[in-house]
Amino acid sequence: MSKKEEGMPYRQQYDRMLEDIKRDVLRMGSRVENTITLAVDALLADDAQLADSIIAYDTFINNMERGIEDKCIRLLATQTPVARDLRFVFAINKIAKDLERIGDLAVNIAQLVKNQKVSLSRNVPDAIPAMAQQVSGMVRDCLDAFMRVDVTLAKDVHKRDEQVDEGFCQALRGLLRALAQDGSRAAAVAPLMFVARYLERMADHITNVCEWIVYFDTGERLEETNSPADRTWLF
C-alpha cells in the first residue's frame, strides 16, 4: 500500500486497490485473447518463428498472474474484506489462474507448430479456426461481463461452451476420416487432434471464469455439466 493510500478511508482504499487489480485482470485477459489468435495464425501458416514468440511471451502472462495473486493477498491482509467483497477478491484470484491456463494451452499449440517436421496447415479442418474464433469471442465477452459484473452476459458466454464442444467433435470426426483415408498423414493429423482438444479446454476455462463472475455477484454457483467432448475424448 502506498503512503497516499494509507491516509484514505477504508472504503476508498479498498476501491482503489480493487480497481487496480481489475485493470490487471483485463490487461491479462486481453493478452491471453491475443495469444489464442496468434497461436492459430502460427498453425495456419506453419510459422515456427511466430510460435517461438508465443512461447517466450508466456513468461509475461505467468508474471501477470502472479502479480494479481500478490495484490489479492495484500488486499486481504490490509483491508480484511467480508461478504461480497471477500467473494470478489477470491473470485478474481481464481479468474487469473484460469486465464493463465488458457495462455498455457495456446503455448501448447505453438509448441506443436514449432516441433513438427511436416506441414500442419494443409490438414487443418475448417472446424479448428472456427473454434478459435468462438473461443476468442468468449474470452472477450467474459472480460466484458467481468468488468460490468454482468451476470446475464456471463451466463450467455457459459452456454456458448456447447458450440465449442460441437466444433471439437466436428474437428475430431474430420481428422479421423482423413486418417482413415490416408494413414501416411498421421504425423500431421495427430497433432491437430491435440490442437482441437486444447481449444476445447480453453472454452472450459472460460466457463470457469463465467462461473466465478456469477459467484462473486450472487454467491451462487452455476451447475456443472458434462460436455459432449468429455464423453468422446480420453485425455
| Tens-place pLDDT, residues 83-142 | 888 899 999 999 999 999 999 999 999 999 999 989 999 999 999 999 999 999 999 999
Q: How far is the C-alpha of 85 from the C-alpha of 151, rounded, in Å?
A: 16
- pLDDT tens string 181-225: 988 889 999 999 999 999 999 999 999 999 999 998 988 887 654
Yes or no: say if 202 and 105 are a contact pair by the CB < 8 Å rule: yes
The per-residue pLDDT for range 128-180, each reduced to its tens digit, is: 999 999 999 999 999 999 999 999 999 999 999 999 999 999 999 999 999 99
Instruction: Decide if 157 contacts 145 (C-beta within 8 A).
Output: yes
Closest CA to 154 of 202, 203, 207: 207
- Domains detected in the chain: 8-232 (1.20.58.220)
Q: How confident is the model at residue 51 (pLDDT cuts 50, 70, 90)?
A: very high
Percent of the chain with pLDDT over 90: 76
Cell reading at 177: 476420416
Which residues touch 136 (CB under 8 Å, ≥6 apart)? Answer: 33, 36, 37
> pLDDT value at position 8?
58
Asked if 58 and 104 touch (Cβ cutoff 8 Å), the reply is yes
- Name the pTM for this structure: 0.88
* Cα 65 → chain centroid: 12
CA–CA separation, 137 and 135 (whole Å): 5
Taking 70 as the threshold, does the pLDDT of residue 4 lie above it? Answer: no
Q: How far apart are CA 22 and CA 19, in angstroms?
A: 5
Mean pLDDT in residue range 9-25: 86
Of 101, 111, 118, nearest to 29 (Cα)? 101
Q: Flag whether pLDDT at 5 surpasses 60.
A: no
Sequence-separated (6 or more) residues with CB below 8 Å from residue 208: 94, 98
- Please work out, in degrees rounded to the nearest 5, the angle formed at the alpha carbon of residue 176 by the alpha carbons of 174 and 179: 110
**Cα separations in angstroms, 144 against 28, 153, 199, 229:** 13, 8, 21, 27
CA distances from 4 to 1, 7, 8, 85, 110 (A): 8, 6, 7, 22, 44
Band the pLDDT of 229: cuts 50, 70, 90. Answer: very low
For residues 87 and 185, what is the distance between their CA atoms, to the nearest angstrom? 50
Q: What angle do CA 7, 11, 17 make, to 5 degrees?
A: 80
Q: Answer yes or no: are the C-beta atoms of 202 and 142 closer than 8 Å.
A: no
Task: Please state, in angstroms and rounded to a whole number, the distance separating the CA atoms of residues 129 and 131.
Answer: 5
